[in-house]
Structure 1
Amino acid sequence: MRPMKSPITIASIFAAALAATPALADDFPSAISVSGEATVSAAPDLAHIDAGVATDAKTAKEASDANNAAMGKVLLALKGAGIDEKDYQTSRLSLQPQYATSSKVSETQRGIVSFRASNRVTVRIRDVTKVASVIDTLVTSGANDVGNISFEVTQASKLLDGAREQALADARRKAEIYAKAAGVTLGVPLAITEGGAPVPMFKARMAPAPMAAAPVPIATGEETLSVTVSVSWAIKKEP
Structure 2
Amino acid sequence: MSQPHPTPQAPQVTVRGEGRLEVEPELARIAVAVTARGADRAGVLADLTRRNAEVLDLIRARGAAVSKLETGGLSVAPERPRRGKGEARLHRGHVRITVELTDFTALGELVPELADREETEVNGPWWELWPDSRAYAEARRLAVTEAVRRARAYAEALGTSLGSLLELSDAGAAEAGAYRRGGFSPVSAAYAVEGIGGAPSLDLAPQRQEVTAEVVARFTMLPPAL
- Call closer, same or farther: CA 1:70–1:86 in 2, change over 3 Å: same
Contact (CA 8 Å) 2:12, 2:220: kept in 1 or not?
A: yes
Q: Deviations over 1:127-150 (max 9, x none)?
A: 122211011232244462101322
**Aligned-CA RMSD value:** 3.2
Contact (CA 8 Å) 1:71, 1:143: kept in 2 or not?
A: no
Between 1:32-41 and 1:147-156, the stretch displaced more is 147-156
Q: Helix, strand or coil for the counterpart of 1:231?
A: strand
Q: Helix, strand or coil for the counterpart of 2:191?
A: coil
Partner of 1:206: 191
Q: Aligned partners of 1:184, 1:43: CA distance in 2, in Å?
A: 42
Partner of 1:75: 56
User: Cα distance, 1:48 vs. partner?
Assistant: 1.7
Q: Give the TM-score normalised by structure 2.
A: 0.75
Structure showing greater Rg: 1
Partner of 1:94: 75
Contact (CA 8 Å) 2:40, 2:90: kept in 1 or not?
A: yes
Partner of 1:46: 27
Greater per-residue helix proportion:
1
Is 2:47 the counterpart of 1:66?
A: yes
Structure 1 stretches of 4+ moved >6 Å: 180-184
Q: Deviations over 1:43-80 (max 9, x none)?
A: 12322221121111123322222111111111122233
Q: Aligned partners of 1:132, 1:25: CA distance in 2, in Å?
A: 59
Contact (CA 8 Å) 1:183, 1:237: kept in 2 or not?
A: no
Between 1:177-186 and 1:221-230, the stretch displaced more is 177-186
For structure 1, the residue ranges without an aligned partner over 5 or more in a row are 1-23, 102-106
Question: Within 5 Å, which residues of 2 pair with 1:1-239?
Answer: 31-82=12-63, 87-101=68-82, 107=83, 109-142=85-118, 144-154=120-130, 157-176=133-152, 178=154, 186-194=162-170, 196-202=180-186, 203-212=188-197, 213-239=199-225
- Call closer, same or farther: CA 1:121–1:168 in 2, change over 3 Å: same
- 1:118 counterpart letter in structure 2: H
Q: Helix, strand or coil for the counterpart of 2:89?
A: strand
- Call closer, same or farther: CA 1:129–1:25 in 2, change over 3 Å: closer
* Percent identity between the two aligned chains: 20
- Call closer, same or farther: CA 1:86–1:181 in 2, change over 3 Å: closer
Q: Give the TM-score normalised by structure 1.
A: 0.72
- Call closer, same or farther: CA 1:78–1:184 in 2, change over 3 Å: same
